[in-house]
Amino acid sequence: MRIAYDNQIDDLSASALTALTSDTNYPIENVQDQRLTTVWHSTALTAQTVIIDFGAAVSITTAAIMGHNITSAASVITVAGGTSASVFATAETLTFSEDMILKFFDAQSYRYWKFTVDNQGNADGYISIGRLWLGTYIQISPTSLDDFTVTKRRSDNVAYGRNRQKFASTGVGWREFELTFPKTGGSVLSNIISMYDDVGQHSSVIFCNFDSLTDYPLVLPCYCSIQEDLQFNHAGRQKYKWSLRLQEDK
């Protein structure tokens, strides 16, 4: 199990983000907003780039694109680190997914990073992205591979008349994860506590129950938030049983 929670892009000023093209009503700094519906739009049909200047070298192991309109016809979806705004190392290829384009890779440390998307067949005529993510992740082990529940929730508004006439407005759907973990201690426990101290219930994380596997649709990697306080129950020798409840964010 992996959780990425330290999106380094969010800590930057808007001037550190440079998009090849950008709609004035949908600027590139929108990718720093937690809401996936607050998006950046390009204004051209050509391949688009976004260059991030961290000001100093930053070690990255996780890259993601979320809340996007990229299609499976995209010929290029990559991310690369560089020593300048024009010189970049060999790019990491990101695999298309409708929900979240995500890749974990060995740590690379660079000051400059560049996302590239070439989706010229996109019927919308522009690239739209809600979140760009660069950071690291924590590995949780022992994990909750078997002892978890996934609930499909919806915000449909439904009311019935006295004779069972239905009146309804359509909402949206999201997933809820409830996970129970075996005895955990050492550095893993410290990492979990540090993660919760940082994000609490106010910031979104990327949750991957099966690391980089995307073979199980119900538990695909999820952009979500922690929904309750973490309680650690001592199970002996400074190891603790604990649980986690997460709900998908939009």
CB within 8 Å of 162: residues ≥ 6 apart: none
Which tens digits make up the pLDDT trace of 128-164?
999 999 999 999 998 887 789 999 999 999 999 999 9
**One domain, residues 127 and 158:** no
What's the chain's average pLDDT?
96
Cβ-based neighbour number of residue 248 at 10 Å = 19
Q: Is 8 helix (H, G, I), strand (E, B) or coil?
A: helix
- Return the pLDDT at 124: 83
* Mean pLDDT, range 90-97, rounded to an integer: 97
Q: Which helix (H) or strand (E) holds 237?
A: none
Q: What does pTM read for this prediction?
A: 0.95
pLDDT computed for residue 110 by the predictor:
98
The beta strand positions in the chain, using DSSP E, are 2-4, 17-19, 40-41, 48-66, 76-82, 92-93, 100-118, 128-129, 131-135, 138-139, 148-154, 157-160, 166-169, 173-184, 205-208, 222-226, 232-234, 240-248
Residue with tokens 């024009």: 86
Last residue in a domain, options 137, 165, 197: 137
pLDDT single digits (tens) 186-222? 999 999 999 999 999 999 999 999 998 888 889 999 9
Residue 94's pLDDT is: 98
Amino acid sitting at position 212: S
131 and 53, same domain (yes or no): yes
Residues 124 and 169 in one domain: no
Residue 214: the pLDDT is 87
Are 165 and 206 members of one domain? yes
Structural domain harbouring 75: 2-137
Residue 143 in any domain: the answer is no
Is the per-residue pLDDT at 98 higher than 80?
A: yes
